Structure formats: C-alpha cells, structure tokens
Structure 1
C-alpha cells in the first residue's frame, strides 16, 4: 500500500509539472500575440509566482507572468500577464513610447 501511495504522489507531481509547462506555453503565446498587435518587440518572458488571492481580495488561484518588451528597440519596459488556469486574465502594460509609423 505504501508503494502505491508513493507512486500516486509521483504521478501527481509529474501531472502538476506538465500542467504548469502547458500554462507557461499558453502565456507566452498570448504575450507574443499582444506584443505583435501593438507593434512591440518581446524581449523575455518569466514566471512570476502563483497566488491564492487576487489583489481585490477574492480567493482564486492564479499565476502571474512578467515580461519585458521594447517599443523603439533601445528601451525596455516590464509588463504583467495574469493567467487563471489556461485562460488569460489581466494584461498590464506600463506607459511607454509609441513606435513611429
């Protein structure tokens, strides 16, 4: 019975890791799509952390991803994407220079 519980625990950890990787890939695609629509250059994407409570005080599991982008090519800004499961939530960009058209 102990071996069965250990095996179940290992399977659970592997499943959680696999789901986290899937969410990270979706987050990167969402960020890349938004940057392309706004004519911004995506520099990097990083996993922020998991949270149990939203800033408004609601109990909801969510993950925050930080990303860096450039608008003119010689500057760098940091934005944030909040993911709720596999769905994109809040997408935040700080004020930045607009690219010349």
Structure 2
C-alpha cells in the first residue's frame, strides 16, 4: 500500500466517523426534544437539522448544529422552534409564544 492509498483510506475513515458522530448527536437531540416536550406539556411532532458547521467552543472543536423543532400545544396548531447544540450538549432552546391547551374540566 503506497502513501496515496493510505491517505485516501484515512480520509474515508474520517468521513465515516464524522457521519456516525452526527447520527449520534441527532439521536440524542431527538431524545432531548421528546423529553422537553413531555416536561412542558407539549406534543412533539418532528425535529429536522437546519444548519451544521464545525466550531470551537471553550477550546473543544465539535459540531455546532441548529435543529428545527415542530410541536403542538393543543393538538390542532403546529409551532416551530429551534434547538441549538454543540456536540451532544444542548446550548439553547427557543420556542415561539404558543397557545395553551384549554383545561378539560
């Protein structure tokens, strides 16, 4: 195996590892969003990745990802918020003002 083949192999390995890392971050963010919605009394609808870039936070290079969170507060109206992560750490959750579900009394 010559040096060129070794470099190509290492590049492919790094791409595969980063893809695997992004999937792991996405799965943990979906889990966080579902727990967050349950805790706040919201109905979780979906989570989609909007923006992905590599950044350095406190000296640690990792993926900075912004997700679009769709949820409902009353089962009829959809709202869109965002979740920002750096690696697996959730940095910020932003939700718009939403209508509260009426009491079932």
For Structure 1 versus Structure 2, the TM-score category normalised by the shorter chain is 0.7 to 0.9
Which of 42, 45, 48 is the equivalent residue of 1:43? 45
Q: 1:37 to 1:74 in 2, by over 3 A?
A: same
Gaps of 5+ in 1: 54-59
* Match runs of 1:28-39 below 5 Å: 28-39=30-41
Give TM-score, length-normalised by structure 2.
Answer: 0.84
* Match runs of 1:2-13 below 5 Å: 2-13=4-15
Which of 66, 91, 94 is the equivalent residue of 2:93? 91
Gaps of 5+ in 2: 56-61
* Match status 1:80 vs 2:79: no
User: Which residue pairs with 1:14 in the alignment?
Assistant: 16
Q: 1:10 to 1:81 in 2, by over 3 A?
A: same
Aligned length: 95
Over alpha carbons, which structure has the higher Rg? 2
C-alpha RMSD of matched pairs (Å) = 1.6
Distance 1:4 1:21 in 2: 26
In the TM superposition, structure 1's runs of 4+ consecutive aligned residues that sit over 4 Å from their partners are none
User: Which residue pairs with 1:71 in the alignment?
Assistant: 73
Q: Is the 8 A contact 1:65 1:81 kept in 2?
A: yes
Give TM-score, length-normalised by structure 1.
Answer: 0.87
